[in-house]
Structure 1
Amino acid sequence: MLLTEKLKDKNIILASQSPRRRELLAGLEIEFSTISLDIDESFDRDFYKANKITEYLSAKKANAYIDLKPNDIIITSDTTVWANNESLEKPENREDAYRMIKALSNTTHSVYTSVTLKSTEKEVTFTAETKVKFAELSDEEIYFYIDQYKPFDKAGAYGIQEWIGYIGVESLEGSYFNVMGLPVHQLYKELQKF
C-alpha cells in the first residue's frame, strides 16, 4: 500500500521551522501541516554524545507537543554535526561559523539526524548517520561561503545543497537528504510501519 493511502485518515504534523525539512517531507507526496515548537534545546554535554544528542532532543520536542488528537502523528527531528568528539550545532556568529567550517576542512565528520514519530498510542525515535568527507578549504573560500550564504540556521554552519557542498564535499557515505536535515528514505519506511 502506498504511504499516501495508508495515511489518508491521519493528520500529519511536522514540527519544524526548517524550510529544508518541509521541502523534503513534501517530496514524499503526503499531506501535512506545520507548527513551531519553542523549546529549550540545551542538554548535558557530558552525558549526551553524537546520536544520543539528537535522539534526546527529537523526543523532547515531540513530548513538548501536548495537543495530540487520536488521528494525529507529529514528526519532530534534530540534526547535529559530530566532528572531533564535539557537537557542532547552529553557529552563533560569523567567527563561530568560521571555526566550525575550519574544523571540518580536510576531515571526515558524521551528520546525525534523529526523527520522532508520536501519536496518542505510541512513539518511536530513529536515527540516521551520514559520513561526510570535506576537501581542504581556504580561509577565503570559508569566508566567501559564510558571507554569501549566512549559514547561521544550519548545524555545523553549512548546507550540503549550497555552494560549499558543490566545492567542498569529496564523498559521503549514507543519505544525502539526511545531511540536509531529514532522512526521508528511513522516514518513509518508519511511517509505513507506524
Structure 2
Amino acid sequence: MNLRRPLLLASNSPRRKELLASLGLTYKAMVKEVDEAFPAHLQRQQVAEYLASHKADAYIADLHDEVLITADTIVCLGDRVLNKPADHAEAKEMLLALSGTDHDVITGVCIASTERKTVFHDTTKVYFKQLSEAEIDYYISNYKPFDKAGAYGIQEWIGMIGIERIEGSYFNVVGLPVQKLYEKLVQLEILAVNAQL
C-alpha cells in the first residue's frame, strides 16, 4: 500500500498504534494534552465524534503536508457515558453496572489536513455475562484498567472470560475501527492500494 502523504497519529494508546501499524501503514505518533470535556446536550455518537474532532483542532496549526488521525472511544450504558475510572472503587462500580447486560462502544475518528476534516464513528454492541465481584476485583487489581473507558479492555482477561458476544467490529472496541478507517483513507485518496495486493 502506498501513502500519498505523511501520516500522523495523535494518540498515546499502544492499542491504536498497534492497530494502525497492523494495517501496514507507516506513521509518526505525537501527543498533546487536550481537554476531554464535551457539551452535555450531545447525543452519544456525537460525543465520540466531537472529542475526536476537538483533539484534531489542537494539532491543525502544526500540520503542513501531513494527514492527522485522532480518535476517541466511549462506552455507553443506556444514556450514560462511562469515562475512564479514577480508582478501584469507580472501576468496580462501572463493571458491576456493565455485568449481565449489553452496552455500546462508540469510537469517533477524525482525519484532518490543512484543507479538510472528515469525521465519522463506528458502534459495536458488547454483551457481558453476569460477572462475580471476585472476578471484577481480580481484574481491576491485576490489570488496573484506569486508562480505559468503561474500566475494561476487551483484549484483556475480563474480555476473555466475561464477554459472551459482540455485534460489530472487535477492533472498534479495542480503540480504532480499522475497516472504516481504511475505507475512508482510500476514498480520500490518501491511501493507494498497490496492484500486487
Normalising TM by the smaller chain, what interval?
over 0.9
- Displaced runs of 4+ in structure 1, greater than 3 A? none
Q: Which residue of 2 aligns with 1:148?
A: 142
Normalising by structure 1, what TM-score? 0.94
Partner of 2:31: 36
Q: Which residue of 2 aligns with 1:191?
A: 185
Query: 1:150 Cα deviation (Å)?
Result: 0.3
Amino acid at match of 1:96: E
Paired residue secondary structure (2:159): helix
Residue 163 (structure 1) shift: 0.4
Question: Equivalent of 1:136, from 127, 130, 134?
Answer: 130
Deviation at 1:84, TM superposition (A): 2.8
How far off is 1:43 after superposition? 1.3
The alpha-carbon deviation at position 120 of structure 1 amounts to 1.3
TM-score, reference length from structure 2: 0.93
Partners of 2:168 and 2:160 lie apart in 1 by 17
Q: Could you tell me which of 25, 45, 50 is aligned with 2:20?
A: 25
- Unaligned runs of 5+ residues in structure 1 are none
Q: How does 1:1-194 map to 2 (within 5 A)?
A: 4-5=1-2, 7=3, 9-45=4-40, 47-65=41-59, 66-69=61-64, 71-194=65-188
Note the residue ranges of structure 2 that are not aligned, 5 or more in a row. 189-197
CA distance in 2 between partners of 1:73 and 1:193 (Å): 14
| Secondary structure in 1 matching 2:114 | coil
- Alignment check: 8 A CA contact 1:177 1:183 kept: yes
String of CA shifts for 1:46-89, please: whole Å, max 9, x gaps: x12311111111000111112110x2100000000000310001
Structure-2 separation of matches of 1:142 and 1:99? 10
Report the Cα distance in structure 1 between the residues aligned to 2:45 and 2:115, rounded to whole angstroms: 25
Deviation at 1:183, TM superposition (A): 0.4
Give the AA of the match of 2:94: M
Q: How many aligned residue pairs are there?
A: 187
Cα distance in 2 for partners of 1:88, 1:189 equals 29
